[in-house]
Amino acid sequence: MIKAVIFDLDNTLIDFMTMKRISCDAAITAMIGAGLNVEKQKAMKELFSIYDKYGLEEKKIFQKFLKKVAKKVDYEILASGIVAYRRVRTGFLEPYPHVGEVLFELKHRGIKLAIVSDAPRLKAWIRLVSMKINHLFDVVVTFDDTKAFKPSTMPFKAAFKKLKLKPSQCLMVGDRPERDIKGAKKLGMTTCFAKYGNPKAKSSEADYEINDIKELLEIVE
């Protein structure tokens, strides 16, 4: 019997990549407006290649970007990009459709809710608070809690300990088969692939696949 549902955060509860692309588009536009001499499409491609190298949570991404495309960091241009990025990102932090109602229904059924995210602690909490769903979770485990990324079993074990439940009593829901599903399966958890967050994935090897988070209610009965 499922007694807890553990969710990944980005691209499972929040459409993280769409938020990232829209925010970066605004940042590039602002930097060009402030005097950066670069073609926008080329700039976006370069920016995301740097993200691929350093990770989507890289704190100094725009400094690295400016050093690459302009060979120096102009702080007026840098500030213009950061301000535009933050303004758009804050306005976009919304959960996927039906997330709120599904979480409320699961709580109503007496199911414990948890987050296991590779995001840094503060960023994960900012996203949860911005979406106004932070109060619904019994446990939140982030990268800072174990210093290990999924599919390491350490983040999952940290969640089990706080939930005071066994792996077999928990359902893992995530969009990354190679991290969320693989890591959960190592411990014998039931797994659910959030296909809506990663439609390009060819195979998840999860126990369940859902195209809308509402389908989760049929699984957890």
Determine the Cα–Cα distance for residues 131 and 112; give it in Å rounded to an integer: 19
Q: For residues 105 and 214, state if they share a domain.
A: yes
> What total of structural domains would you count in the chain?
2
- Max CA distance (Å), the chain: 59
Name the pLDDT band for 221 (thresholds 50, 70, 90): confident
Instruction: Output the pTM of the full model.
Output: 0.86
Shared domain for 129 and 209, answered yes or no, is yes
CATH number at residue 123: 3.40.50.1000
Kindly indicate the confidence band of residue 196, based on its pLDDT and cuts at 50, 70 and 90. very high
For residues 86 and 155, state if they share a domain.
no
pLDDT, one tens digit per residue, over 131-167 is: 999 999 999 999 999 999 999 999 999 999 999 999 9
pLDDT on residue 119? 93
Residue 167: predicted pLDDT:
97
Residue 111: the pLDDT is 98
